[in-house]
Amino acid sequence: MALITFDGFGSDTDITAVGYTRETGTAGSLVATSAGLLKFALSTNSLYTLDTAVADHSFEAEWASASGGYDFFQVCARVTNISNMYCARVSSPNNLQLYKYVAGVQTQLGSTVVLSGRAVGDKMKIVCIGSSIQLWYAGTKRIDVTDTSHPSATKVGHFGRSTTSGGIFNTAEWLDATPVVSVTGINGGTNSVQIGSSGNTVATVGLSAVTSANIGGVAMTSLAGASSPWTFSFPPLTDSAVSPYPSGTFTIVGTEGSPTLAGVAVTLPSSLTSVTLAGTLNTTNTGVLHDFSPAAVVTDQIFYAPIPTAGKYITIDAQGNIDTDYFGIFECWHWQASTGITRNYSVDTSESSAGSIGLTSSGLTSVGLTKAGLTSTGL
C-alpha cells in the first residue's frame, strides 16, 4: 500500500512534487494547498497518475469537504491514458457515478447512486479485480459491474475535465487488490444446488484457476472451466456420510485464494420428498422408525419416494407411521439432524405369512407392520 498526504506544501504547489506523473494538462492544474488539501486549480483537461505495476488494484481518496462534486473524477483505475480508463466521481451535489473511457468515448457503468449524510473524512474507492469493477463510498460497496475494456492497464490517478474546484482531498492511497477474491453466486444467483445434479455453475471474482470445491465439507465433482463461471456436479446421497442438507457454506479453492459463500441451499433430488419428525414418535414395529441405531429423534428427517411405481403411493407421517398400497421393496434415508449424517435403508412391504414388513439399515434390522388397504395407525 502507498499513502500520499499533502501536508507541508506552500500555497498551490504543483502536485508532481509528491510523485504524480502529469500525463496531460498544464503545470499547476492539480495542486496541493497550504492547508494540506488537493485541488484542481485550472480549467484544463488534466490527468495525473501513479503506477501500481499490477492490473488488479484499488485507488482510494479521502474527502476534505462534505458537499459538492464538480466534473472531476476523483479516483481513476486501470488508466492507460486520458482516453482509456475507469473513473469515478461525486458530481454536484451528491451523485456517485462510475464511468469508463474507451478511445475517448465516455460510458456510464451501473446506475447513479444518490448519497446522503456525506461527511469530511469519507473515503471513495474504485477497485478492479479481474473483470469486476467496484465503487465504494464510506466503507460500503455502492456500484458493482463487470467490464473487460481495460484488462491489463496498471495506473491509477485523478482526472479533471475542464473545471476548477476547491479543496477536495487530504490523503490518497493505492494498493494491489489481487487478494480480494469472492464467490458472487451459485447457479445464476439462486444460491441453490440439488443433490445428485450436474452442470451447476459458480461465479467468482479474482480467481484465475480453480482446483476443488465443497459444500459443508462435502467435495463437489467434475469442477471445470477456464474462467468464471465454473461448472461442477453435486454427488448423490451417500450412506452413512455427512450431507450438507438443507444448507451449507460453499468453498472453492483457486490460485489466488479460497473464497466462500455461506447459506447455500441444498435441495433433495426431485424424486424424493422429506418429512420432519415431530411429536411422539412411533418406534414400534408398526412404523418405519423401529430399531434404528442411532435412534431417530424429533427434528430428524426421513427421505423417501412418495410414488414408488406408477399408480402406487407411500405416505410417511411426522411420527414415522406409513400408509401405502405398494407391496415391495423401496428405499428410504434417515437424515440425523444432530450430525448431518444420512443413512440409507430399505423397506419391504411385501406380504408374508406373518403379515409383516422388514427394514434394514447399515447391517441393522428394523421391523414394521402393514396390511393392504389399512394405515399403520389401524394396526
Q: Is the pLDDT of residue 198 over 90?
A: yes
Q: Which residue has the cell 394405515?
A: 375
pLDDT at residue number 75: 92
So what's the pLDDT on residue 14?
84
Nearest C-alpha neighbor of 379 from the set 278, 284, 241: 284
Q: Give the pLDDT score at 104.
A: 94
Query: Is residue 323 over pLDDT 70?
Result: yes
- Using DSSP's 3-state secondary structure scheme, residue 220 falls into coil
In this structure, of 8-22, 135-149, 241-255, 357-371, the range with the lowest mean pLDDT score is 357-371
Cα 134 to Cα 88: distance, rounded to the nearest angstrom:
10
The identity of residue 247, as a single letter, is S
Q: What share of the chain is helix, strand, coil (3-state, %, to 5)?
A: 5, 50, 45
Q: Give CA torsion, residues 69, 70, 74, 77, to 10 deg.
A: 120
Query: Which of 2, 31, 39 has its CA nearest to residue 14?
Result: 31
Widest pairwise Cα distance in the chain: 104
Cβ atoms 112, 96 nearer than 8 A: yes
Over residues 102-114, mean pLDDT: 96
15 in Cβ contact with 48 (< 8 Å): yes
Closest CA to 44 of 196, 122, 159: 159
Confidence of residue 111 (pLDDT cuts 50, 70, 90): very high
User: Within a 10 A sphere around the Cβ of 313, how many other Cβ atoms?
Assistant: 12
Q: What is the mean pLDDT of residues 267-289?
A: 93
- What is the pLDDT confidence band of residue 378, given thresholds at 50, 70 and 90? very low
Question: Residue 28: what pLDDT?
Answer: 85
Band of the pLDDT at 365, cuts 50, 70, 90? very low
pLDDT for res 374 = 34
Mean pLDDT of 47-73: 83
d(C-alpha 110, C-alpha 160), whole Å: 21
Amino acid at 346: S
Q: Is the pLDDT of residue 148 over 50?
A: yes
Where is pLDDT greater, at 343 or 132? 343
pLDDT at 201: 98
C-alpha of 308 from chain center: 38
Q: Which helix (H) or strand (E) holds 253?
A: strand 247-254
Band of pLDDT at residue 71, cut at 50, 70 and 90:
confident
Q: Of 184, 179, 158, which is closest to residue 169 (Cα–Cα)?
A: 158
> Is the predicted pLDDT of residue 315 greater than 90, yes or no?
yes
**C-alpha–C-alpha distance, residues 360 and 367, integer Å:** 8
Judge contact between 240 and 341, C-beta under 8 A. yes
Distances (CA, A) of 125 to 105, 155, 182: 23, 14, 18
Mean confidence (pLDDT) of the chain? 85
For residue 363, the SS3 value is coil
Compute CA 326 distance to the chain's CA centroid, rounded to the nearest angstrom: 44
Asked if pLDDT for residue 320 goes beyond 80, the answer is yes
Confidence of residue 351 (pLDDT cuts 50, 70, 90): low
Name which of 41-50, 54-63, 349-358 the model is least confident about.
349-358
Domains of the chain from N-terminus onward: 2-176 (2.60.120.560), 182-267 (2.60.40.10), 273-378 (no CATH)
Higher pLDDT, 110 or 54: 110
For residue 30, what is its C-alpha cell? 492539480
> How far is residue 215's CA from residue 151's CA, in Å, rounded to a whole number?
31
* Exposure letters 10-30 (e unless 16+ CB within 10 A, then b): eeebbbeebebebbbbeebbb
Of 239 and 284, the one with more pLDDT: 239
Q: Tell me the pLDDT band of 185, cut-offs 50, 70 and 90.
A: very high
More confident residue, 22 or 169: 22
In this predicted structure, what is the pLDDT of residue 136?
92
